[in-house]
Chains A and B, each alone.
Chain A
Amino acid sequence: MSSPALQSRTRVTRIAQEAVDRARLTVVPRVRTRAPRVPFVTLVSLVLVGGIVGLLLFNTSMQQASFTASSLETQADTLAAREQTLRLELDELRDPQRVALQAQQMGMVIPSAPVFLDLASGTTSGVRTPATRENAIQLQPPAPIKPANLAPAPVVVEVPAAPEATAATTPAAPAAPTTKPRKNRNR
């Protein structure tokens, strides 16, 4: 930096020795161009504020998403459970026992041997056996036999044949229930 300045000085000295001697030269102060500060500060502030607000918004939206996620998860769980429950109900409806009970109530009977119908020739193969009520299989086990003390033997009261006259005067009604053997005996 100093060497070109030195050269110029010597050159100046050489060119105008007198002037140099007469007037001492001073360095001209550099003119500082002052950039306006306001836009910069504003920009920085804006970036800062924007960042913070953005972060805040981002955070809020993440929280919001988290709430949504967990509520959706709950919903998914509920729906999955519902689906499973429905599937179970469907399986229970398909229970062969239930289907058979309904079919038997409608008068349907499982045949003892199959017969095949050939659609192309319109012929059947196999022996046609009637499916009768006897072919129906017993779907429900019979009621268990009750122990003796729960199913007491019917009380049979022998009523001597009353003469016509007394029968007319005394009402026979009260005696009737005791003489009737119990019909709903459990066997």
Chain B
Amino acid sequence: MLRLRIGFVLIAMVLSFFGARLVQLQGVDPQSYAAMAAAEGAARVTLVAERGDILDRNGVPLADSIKGKMVIADPALTADRAPELARLLSERLSVDYFKALTALQGRTEGSRYEFVARRVPSTLATDTLAAVQEAGFEGVFLQDDPIRAYPAGDVAANLLGYMGTDEPLGGFERTFDEQLAGVDGEATWQSNSGKGVRIPLRESTLEAARNGEPLRTTIDRDLQWFTQKVLAQTVQQYRAESGAAVVMDTRTGEVLALADVPTFDANAPTEAQSTDDLGSRAMSNTYEPGSVAKVLTAAALIDADKAFPRQRFRVPPNLARQDRVIGDWFDHGNIRLTLAGIIAKSSNIGTVLAADAFTPVQLVDYLNRFGLGRRTDIGVRGETPGILTPGEAMTSQTKDRVAFGQSLSVNVVQMAAAVNTIANDGVRVSPSVISGTAVTDDGVTVGTDVATRERVVSKQAARGTAKMMEKVVDPEDGVAPRAQVPGYLVAGKTGTAQRVDGDCGCYDGSTSVSFGGFAPADDARFTVYVVVHAPKVDGGGGSVAGPVFSRIMGYVLGRYGVEPTGGTPSRLPVEW
């Protein structure tokens, strides 16, 4: 009996201990224990969203995202054999040996997390890790670190922008970051510690990453490359400060190429010669367009019935206006030119005389409708609206200069779109560089889907102006025979403008030479506009920018299979 009682007492004591423990676990603080249980062997992984590609008009990637890894060292485990490991890693990953060594030894005391290399291609990283483990090293880990690659290097780099370590730092990458970036996801599960194998039937959550949407541009990669090369060659040959060129589809306003020189390699933005090269000068720098703007004045005059191509003008050697004397680029006595001759020979005096039929308000109104003085809003960062004095505030002297393209400033795409208006039978198509639609970081919707069309001058006025512009490339009458494309009717206009020095606010003696035109002249398909800033070798729009125009136009016509129209060349007289 006694033994039985002692037994009962013992059992009761043990059970009461259990009971007390049960109350402690369940009653006092159940959550913390549950959390501890969950944390034991819980794995939490950030699923990195893949950044959307930036594509050209044919779907060829201009910017591409590929899986990458960062190689991380735990110095507590690697410091002992750091030199050997650093040698292995530096050979495999082509990183600097001493940088790898410092990382493996720990940059600070007690550090447990050091980057050895970042943005290593996934395959290389896993191969390296396997080699490291095979050699018996510990403390090297991999983590996801996507790589942004620009397969064509500097092609369209000024538009694309580039990526910093963790964030986009310029161009489309930054402007359309919201669309491109995507949203990271997260997965949690229970795993057997360290091996990464999921324990089945245990709690696990998965919030899938939402990859970034690709951004399709209207750029044609090969054409963009060609444009950049031809432009770079000219900029270098004439020792110019910079240059820009645009190729535009006349009918749709799509920008097929927008080249900036000097440029940079988007894969290595830190190696750029100057930080100014990183953006798009074509969009952010203003300059005075010079004589190319004469065609806008002429088209406006014809549209307003204030002039016609065969209209006769007596052009004096120089023209005294209120504050200064206006001269021409070539010395001449009293000559008799038609309006076509004024355009073909690029006479400032003739243009001023013709524009006398306009009040400043009328001229500025036309120029505004051609798109000058307001942003094109194509989605390129830092675009300048240019400067166009309102007509009410414009003096007649300023108006005289505006008529031949001085005293107003533009950006390259603005000017190209204005010339394109004449090519497109007088209808201005707003230019676009994004295919479809996209929303910029300023909340502006841009793209071909929101492109607008607006009639600026009548079809007759545009055709008449185009006929006059054909004379510019005429070997006998024109100033830019080298802008001719063999076999095609080409219409164009040269420009040689004085450049304003920003510091003194005066003309510094250097020039911006340009050429804008389209082909085939009687059924335009492409508009090309080229500007070369501050060439150190003597030359005007016809001799410097003309050949660039010819080369690019010849290439784009062949590339898009545009046959010569076989139309009759312009027979407008230039003199009378």
Binding site for B on A (CB under 8 A): 62-63, 65-67, 69-70, 77-78, 80-82, 84-85, 87-88, 91-92, 94-97, 100, 110-116, 125-127, 129, 137-139, 141-142
Contact A82 B152 (CB under 8 A): no
A116 contacts B561, C-beta separation under 8 Å: yes
User: Which 4 pairs between the two chains have the least Cβ-Cβ distance?
Assistant: A114-B558, A81-B122, A91-B151, A127-B487
User: What separation, in Å, do the CA atoms of A82 and B126 have in the docked complex?
Assistant: 11
A and B contact pairs by CB, cutoff 8 A, 13 listed: A67-B197, A70-B196, A81-B126, A85-B121, A87-B66, A91-B64, A94-B60, A100-B229, A113-B485, A116-B561, A126-B488, A137-B226, A137-B551
Please pick, from A88, A116, A129, A138, the residue contacting B229 in the complex, using a CB distance under 8 A: A138
Smallest Cβ-Cβ distance to B68: which chain A residue? A81
Q: Report how far A96 CA is from B154 CA in the complex, Å.
A: 11
Please choose the segment from B28-36, B198-206, B338-346 that sits at the chain A interface, where 4 or more of its residues have CB less than 8 A away: B198-206
Contact flags B547-576 to A (C-beta < 8 A → 1, else 0): 000110011011001011010000000000
**How many Å from the CB of B521 to the closest CB on chain A?**
15
Tell me, rounded to whole Å, the shortest Cβ–Cβ distance linking A3 to chain B: 51
Contact A95 B151 (CB under 8 A): yes
CA distance A96 to B151 in the complex (A): 10
Q: For the complex, is B153 an interface residue (Cβ under 8 Å from A)?
A: yes
Q: Is B232 an interface residue (CB 8 A)?
A: yes
Residues of B within 8 A of A114 (CB): 487, 554, 557-558
Known A95-B151, A97-B152, A113-B554; 17 more pairs at CB < 8 Å: A63-B200, A66-B197, A67-B197, A70-B196, A80-B67, A85-B66, A88-B64, A88-B151, A91-B152, A94-B60, A95-B153, A96-B155, A112-B485, A113-B557, A125-B564, A125-B566, A137-B229
User: B121 touching A81 by the CB < 8 A rule?
Assistant: yes
Judge if B236 is at the interface, Cβ distance under 8 Å: yes
Does B123 contact A115, Cβ atoms closer than 8 Å? no
Decide: A92 and B67 in contact? CB cutoff 8 A: no
Do A112 and B200 touch (CB < 8 A)? no
* A127 nearest CB across to chain B (Å): 4
**Closest residue to A68 on the B side, CB-wise?**
B197
With most chain A CB atoms within 10 A of its CB, the pick from B487, B563, B566 is B487
Cβ contacts under 8 Å, B126 to chain A: 78, 81
Within 8 Å by CB of A127, from B121, B149, B486, lies: B486
Binding site for A on B (CB under 8 A): 60-61, 64, 66-67, 121-123, 126, 149, 151-153, 155, 196-201, 221-222, 225-226, 229-230, 232-233, 236, 485-488, 550-551, 554-555, 557-558, 561, 563-564, 566
State whether A66 touches B200 (Cβ < 8 A). yes
Known A-B contacts A62-B201, A125-B564; the reply to A96 vs B233 at CB < 8 A is no
Residues of A within 8 A of B563 (CB): 116, 125-126
In the complex, chain A residues whose CB is within 8 Å of the CB of B564: 125-127
Measured in the bound complex, the distance between the Cα atoms of B60 and A10 in whole Å is 110
Q: In the bound complex, what is the Cα–Cα distance between A87 and B123 (angstroms)?
A: 13
Give bound CA distance, A141 to B236, whole Å. 8
CB distance from B19 to the nearest CB of A (A): 30
Name the A residues within 8 Å of B201 (CB-CB): 62
Residues of A within 8 A of B197 (CB): 66-67, 70
A111, B236: Cα distance in complex, Å: 21
Cα(A80)–Cα(B211), bound, Å: 15
Q: How far is the CA of A63 from the CA of B201 in the complex (A)?
A: 10
Chain B residues, CB < 8 A from A63: 199-200
Residues of A within 8 A of B229 (CB): 100, 137-139
Rounded to whole Å, the gap between the CB of A84 and the closest CB of chain B is 4
Is B122 within 8 A of A85, CB to CB?
yes
Q: Which residues of chain A are within 8 angstroms of B155 by Cβ–Cβ distance?
A: 95-97
- How many Å lie between the Cα of A142 and that of B122 in the bound state? 36
A111 and B554 within 8 A (CB)? yes
* Alpha-carbon separation in the docked complex, A126 to B222 (Å): 23
Residues of B within 8 A of A65 (CB): 200
Q: B575 → chain A, closest Cβ, in Å?
A: 28
Chain A: CB-nearest residue to B484? A113
A97 and B153: CB pair below 8 A? Answer: yes
Q: Which residue of B lies closest to A63 (CB)?
A: B200
Complex: A134 Cα to B66 Cα, angstroms: 40
With CB as the reference atom, state the residue of chain B lying closest to A81.
B122
Give Cα A153 to B372, complex, Å. 51
In Å, the complex CA distance between A114 and B562 comes to 9
Partner of B67, one of A81, A116, A141: A81
Contact B123 A85 (CB under 8 A): yes
Which residues on the B side are within 8 Å of A77 (C-beta)? 67, 122
Query: Are the C-beta atoms of A113 and B236 separated by less than 8 Å?
Result: no
Asked if B487 and A126 sit within 8 Å, CB to CB, the answer is: yes
Inter-chain contacts of B196 with A (CB < 8 A): 70
Q: How far is the CA of A91 from the CA of B196 in the complex (A)?
A: 34
A96 & B554 in contact (Cβ 8 Å cutoff)? no
Q: Which B residues are in CB contact (< 8 Å) with A111? A: 554, 558
| A69 CA / B563 CA spacing, docked (Å) | 59
The answer to whether A112 touches B550 (Cβ under 8 A) is yes
Q: Report whether B551 and A112 are in contact in the complex, using a CB–CB cutoff of 8 Å.
A: yes
**Residue numbers in B under 8 Å from A80 (CB-CB):** 67
From B67, which residue of chain A is reached at the shortest CB distance?
Answer: A81
Q: Are A84 and B233 in contact (CB under 8 A)?
A: no
Most buried by B among A78, A81, A129, A137: A81
Contact A78 B200 (CB under 8 A): no
Contact B550–A96 (Cβ < 8 Å): no
| Inter-chain contacts of B149 with A (CB < 8 A) | 88, 91
Residues of B within 8 A of A81 (CB): 66-67, 121-123, 126
In the complex, are the beta carbons of A96 and B222 less than 8 A apart? yes
- Given A66-B200, A137-B230, are A97 and B554 neighbors across the interface (CB < 8 Å)? no
- Cβ B198 vs Cβ A113 within 8 A: no
B558 lies within 8 A of A113 (CB): yes
Cα-based distance from A92 to B153 in the complex (angstroms): 9
Which B residues are CB-close (under 8 A) to A92?
A: 151
A21 to B554, CA, bound (A): 140
**Given A112-B486, A116-B561, A129-B486; A70-B554 close (CB under 8 Å):** no
Assess the B152–A112 pair: CB atoms within 8 A.
no
The listed residue with most B CB atoms (<10 A of its CB), out of A70, A91, A95, A96, is: A96
